[in-house]
Amino acid sequence: MPTLRLALCQVDPTVGDIAGNADLVRRWTRKAADAGAQLALFPELMLTGYPVEDLVFRRSFVAASKAALQRLADDLAADGLGELPVLVGYLDADGPPQVSADAEPGKGARNAAALLHRGSVVAAYFKHHLPNYGVFDEDRYFVSGNTLTVVRIGGVDVALTICEDLWQAGGPFAVARQAGVGLVLNINGSPYELNKDDIRLPLVRRRAAEAGATVAYVNMVGGQDELVFDGDSMIVSADGALLARAPQFVEHLLVHDVELPPAKEPVESTGELADGMRVVRTKVSDTLPPVPTGEAAVGGIIEPVADEAEVWQALVLGLRDYVNKNRFPSVVLGLSGGIDSAVSAAIAVDALGPDRVAGVSLPSQHSSEHSRADAEDLAKRTGMDYRIEPIQPMVDAFLANMSLSGVTVENLQARVRGVILMALSNQEGHLVLTTGNKSELAVGYSTLYGDSVGGYNPVKDVWKTLIWRLAKWRNADAERRGETPPIPENSIGKPPSAELSPGQLDSDTLPDYDVLDPILIGYVDGDLGRDGLIASGHDPEVVDKVLRMVDTAEYKRRQSAPGTKISHKAFGRDRRLPITNRWREHG
């Protein structure tokens, strides 16, 4: 049986940085070669980053991707790495974009993968299944490919596939079986969602069984606006055994030797192959770079971590990459002494280090003594910068000049805080973090242009009840490691309050969060209607109240800052609803 040393390069590309991404491929191909790899693979749309959205419509961008691909092949050969076949995702086009007036049927932009060898592009593959649900809009951008590319490398037939191809039965993996391949490569831009890693392994196993071949699955890592890619690259044998698995949320080179069946005689590509596809075969090389003598390469198997640990890492990486890729030196956020700002600050410190996080206490006449003390305690525990900017003089200046009362005055305080944070951003260059959790976003419990101001929201997709769980987990994790728990116990234990009027508590306006969150999870994440929610045991009156709040807060969500997606259905692309909308489920 031939043995192939595979190198799965789980790296963090940046959208639009074609030259930087090509350099990343060169650096990691060098690492792969140093590890004796005989075939290296990089994620989906590696050269352009993923997802590129409407950049696909720019012909200049497509041209840059294509030119970079050939340049990369040349550079790898010039680097002395030409003998190592490298599979890399890139943006291609064989016709004008589908949205343009001169579009041609069956042609257009392609989500593509190319195999580079000895300074040339020796084979290419166009993604067959285009995801068009959730956050994905690939039917808007790409034309589907109908050819399975099979390359013969070192006597083994290897099929090339891209991400969504893995998620559907009866497509390229079924064709791969008909073509008799020994290995299927699958390159991914698969964003993180809680529990997605639990779905991926059985999915890869099913496709390995369908193809009757080993599957090498490489995914990117890193944050891109609201998405965070978690890696979780793996190799699964034809009989479903997990051979190697990379850690989540970090760049990683997974190098593993796989035993593969020798290529059979070429199968004729005529006849009905699955899903209307045909097969095109290319012989790349009989000879491969020799593996260094000695130990076989074993990639190891990383065990999945607890949900809280996984979500925390996702939030940390999502924020870090947003801040760094958008070149902010630091972040600033208001510290109320409450749990949302405390958790957001702890995420920021883990993402950026304490020197790049500034916390501001913005007390008003309604702020309790503990709000200041708890904010200061948080700052001490984490080592972040801390200052106090009292807002009352500015609030009073408004009240002396305008006749305002009730909720307007509550909102005024939140807005003065927003103005101060934006002023600090303008003056000192920080990115402002806003800290509204998913429960608040769902019911509109925030002040527009007030506490909702900010460029990024690290907890946007985190239900309030999960915020508490994360806080407890993060503190316990610190204790396990002998470190100071970052979040003051007081911030975890106190009843939530906006402190915008005397003695105000969230529970004056909202049901308790352990009642509210399950209703929201059913309505928002599960798309349950009123009847479904009541049938699952919720009080009809509370359901009506909650649904009314959710439905009428769409306008706030549409103006909200981006934030890291961690759930199956995050506000934004996953859940698109009209603002002007008279459809109501509730009484």
Ligand X SMILES: Nc1ncnc2c1ncn2[C@@H]1O[C@H](COP(=O)(O)OP(=O)(O)OP(=O)(O)O)[C@@H](O)[C@H]1O
Ligand Y SMILES: NC(=O)CC[C@H](N)C(=O)O
Per CB under 6 A, residues contacting ligand Y are 44, 131, 136, 163-164, 167, 189-191
| Range in contact with ligand DND (rule: CB under 6 A) among 190-198, 255-263, 403-411, 514-522 | 403-411
Question: Residue 577 touches which of ligand Y, ligand X, ligand DND, none (CB < 5 to 8 A by kind)?
Answer: none
Distance CA 253, CA 40 (A): 10
Q: Which of 19, 99, 296, 407 touches ligand DND (CB under 6 A)?
A: 407
Distance CA 143, CA 159 (A): 20
Considering the complex, state which of residue 230 and residue 377 has its C-beta at the smaller distance from ligand X: 377
Distance CA 551, CA 570 (A): 16
DSSP summary character for residue 286: S
Q: Binding string to ligand DND for residues 534 to 573, with x set by CB under 6 A, is what?
A: ---------------------x------------------
| Range in contact with ligand DND (rule: CB under 6 A) among 113-121, 410-418, 426-434, 457-465 | 410-418
Q: How far is CA 428 from the centre of its chain?
A: 29
Cis peptide before 51, with omega less than 30 degrees from 0? yes
Question: Residue 410 touches which of ligand DND, ligand Y, ligand X, none (CB < 5 to 8 A by kind)?
Answer: ligand DND
Considering the complex, state which of residue 171 and residue 511 has its C-beta at the smaller distance from ligand X: 511
Q: Binding string to ligand X for residues 421 to 440, with x set by CB under 6 A, is what?
A: --------------x----x
In this structure, are residues 123 and 149 in contact, taking their beta carbons and an 8 Å threshold? Answer: yes
Least distance CB 235 / ligand Y (angstroms): 17
Considering the complex, state which of residue 30 and residue 575 has its C-beta at the smaller distance from ligand Y: 575
Give the relative orientation of helices 18-34 and 59-78 as an angle to the nearest 10 degrees.
30
SS3 490: helix
Name the token pair of 297: 């390469």
Phi, psi of 214 (to 5 degrees): -65, 145
Q: Which of 397, 260, 396, 385 is nearest to 332 (CA)?
A: 385
Least distance CB 496 / ligand X (angstroms): 4
Question: Residue 182 touches which of ligand DND, ligand Y, ligand X, none (CB < 5 to 8 A by kind)?
Answer: none
Is residue 336 a contact point for ligand X (CB under 6 A)?
Answer: yes
CA dihedral 199, 201, 206, 209 (to 10 degrees): 180
CA distances from 412 to 29, 128, 227, 393, 397 (A): 55, 53, 33, 12, 11
308 Cβ contact list (under 8 Å, min separation 6): 469, 470, 473, 474
Distance CA 569, CA 230 (A): 17
Q: Binding string to ligand X for residues 482 to 521, with x set by CB under 6 A, is what?
A: --------------x-xx----------------------
Least distance CB 450 / ligand DND (angstroms): 6
Least distance CB 539 / ligand X (angstroms): 24
Q: Which of 161, 361, 425, 465 touches ligand X (CB under 6 A)?
A: 361
Site for ligand X in 182-241 (CB under 6 A): none
Catalytic pick among 44, 138, 210, 410? 44
DSSP summary character for residue 263: P
Considering the complex, state which of residue 81 and residue 500 has its C-beta at the smaller distance from ligand DND: 500
Least distance CB 506 / ligand DND (angstroms): 6
Is residue 310 a contact point for ligand DND (CB under 6 A)?
Answer: no
Least distance CB 447 / ligand DND (angstroms): 4
Beta bridge partners of 3: 259
Q: How many residues bind ligand X (CB under 6 A)?
A: 21
- Catalytic status, residue 44: yes
Catalytic pick among 9, 66, 138, 163? 163
340 Cβ contact list (under 8 Å, min separation 6): 435, 436, 437, 440, 459, 464, 467
Site for ligand X in 364-393 (CB under 6 A): 367, 371
- Catalytic status, residue 163: yes
In this structure, are residues 238 and 211 in contact, taking their beta carbons and an 8 Å threshold? Answer: yes
Least distance CB 136 / ligand Y (angstroms): 6
With b for 16 or more beta-carbon neighbours within 10 A and e for fewer, the 209-222 pattern comes to bbbbbbbbbbbbbb
Which residues are known catalytic residues?
44, 127, 163
Q: Write out the binding residues for ATP.
A: 334-341, 435
Q: Which residues bind ligand DND (CB under 6 A)?
A: 407, 410-411, 414, 440, 444-448, 450-451, 498, 500, 506, 509, 555, 579
